[in-house]
Amino acid sequence: MPKFETHRPVPHSPEQMYALVADVERYPEFLPLCEGLVVRSRKERDGKELLIADMTVGYKAIRETFTTQVLLNHAELEIDVKYIDGPFRYLDNRWRFEAVGEDRCNVHFFIDYEFKSRILGALMGSMFDRAFHMFSEAFETRADKIYGV
């Protein structure tokens, strides 16, 4: 049951980083392993936005698509991702953006997952671990490109 958690200080506001992570349709442009992302539905609920999205990840000849529920809570600057369907037994992902001064924030990223298949876990597990370690950095690099440093 791999888990990864990081807290990274970045030279961007919490609102900027939230907007960047909430813009899920752009993930294939910069996120490691992400080959495609389609938002199936979008609903407003209690001041929050609920998305159902399919993400396709790949490495060499292996491709997998999984479906998640993404809860965007702009008021709290939080994003919660829950697994619905695909190659995982479970997947839990959370983002938090905390102000630490003017135009700076700490990005809190947490992911916990397990593949259904031991074979798929063996094939993709170490590659997923490396990719998740690079996710925060990929978002920070993207923010630097969009918002400047």
Domain boundaries, the chain: 3-147
pLDDT tens for each residue of the chain, 149 residues long? 678 888 999 999 999 999 999 999 999 999 988 999 999 999 998 899 999 999 998 877 878 899 999 999 999 999 999 999 998 999 999 999 999 988 999 999 999 988 888 877 776 666 766 777 778 789 999 999 999 98
* Residues in contact with 4: Cβ distance below 8 Å, sequence separation at least 6, in sequence order: 109, 110, 111, 112, 129, 132, 133
pTM (2 decimals)?
0.90
- As a CATH number, domain 3-147 is 3.30.530.20
The whole-angstrom separation of Cα 131 and Cα 148 is 24
